[in-house]
Amino acid sequence: MPELSKVAGFWNTSPTHHTKAEDFQGLMTGAVISSLGFFLLGKAGLLTGGTAGVAFLMHYLTNWSFGLWFFLLNLPFYYLSIRKVGWDFTLKTFVAIGATSALVEVQPHFLGIATLNPIWAAILGGLLLGYGLLAFYRHRASLGGVGILGIYLQDRFGIRAGLVQMAFDVAVLVAAFFVVDPFIVACSVLSAVVINLFVTVNHRKDRYIVLR
């Protein structure tokens, strides 16, 4: 029993090292929360930045599922992830994206929403995605490949990774004007701001220890 408890993480005293069970629950929790955030954005016809934003655009254009597009669009980035970040991060990210993509498609079977204000969807969806990203980051995973591309371009050509991410997000939102209403684009910008502000304020490794 003590060994089982240690594997499950109940007696894990390390503030930085996670057991496999802890990683699993962290990734699955992040996937559930993130899928709910994506579900709310999609229900209101919104989008966001990164590969998720492109997946929303393709979903609205083709009527193929968001989850499928999100999974497929991230596939090319795994090669860069293996080269630049390593197998552990890449495999966890693959699980995170795969689980989130599948759960987004499951959400409508368990959750029905008759009306949803786009502004509220942007705020609530953004917060949920922020929480989901924190769960993934805490367990060395992520939800998209653009950040990895940014790291590669920074190392290879000296282009700042943050500028790559920002340029990509701006391009997605500009393209959105040709697909959705300008008000929806504005709400989508609000959602992206909420996500980034939430992660910026809360993603600090020195804040993970609650008691000192």
Average pLDDT over residues 17-41: 91
Whether residue 113 is contained in a domain is answered as: yes
Whole-number mean pLDDT of the chain? 84
Whether residue 4 is contained in a domain is answered as: no
Of 8-17, 21-30, 81-90, 192-201, the one with minimum mean pLDDT is 8-17
Residue position matching structure tokens 């004007």: 177
Question: What pTM did the predictor assign?
Answer: 0.85
Whether residue 8 is contained in a domain is answered as: no
Report yes or no: 201 and 194 within 8 Å, Cβ to Cβ: no
Structure token digits, residue 116: 């949803």
Query: Nearest CA to 186 among 90, 119, 109, 89?
Result: 119
Whether residue 209 is contained in a domain is answered as: no
Split at pLDDT 50, 70, 90, the class of 211 is very low
Kindly give, in sequence order, each residue whose CB lies less than 8 Å from that of residue 130, ignoring residues fewer than 6 positions away.
194, 195, 198, 199, 202
pLDDT for residue 10 = 52
Report yes or no: 96 and 141 within 8 Å, Cβ to Cβ: yes
pLDDT for residue 210 = 35
Structural domain count, the chain: 1
3-state helix, strand, coil in the chain (%, to 5): 75, 0, 25
Average pLDDT over residues 200-204: 75
pLDDT digits (tens, 9 = 90+) for 157-190: 877 766 777 788 888 988 999 989 999 999 999 9
pLDDT digits (tens, 9 = 90+) for 103-151: 999 999 999 998 999 999 999 999 999 899 888 888 888 887 787 777 6
Whether residue 3 is contained in a domain is answered as: no
pLDDT digits (tens, 9 = 90+) for 54-67: 999 999 999 999 99
Report yes or no: 107 and 170 within 8 Å, Cβ to Cβ: no
Query: Nearest CA to 31 among 112, 94, 101?
Result: 101
pLDDT for residue 17 = 65
Domain of residue 73 covers: 19-202
Residue 18, SS3 per DSSP: coil
Whether residue 78 is contained in a domain is answered as: yes
Whether residue 32 is contained in a domain is answered as: yes
Whether residue 2 is contained in a domain is answered as: no
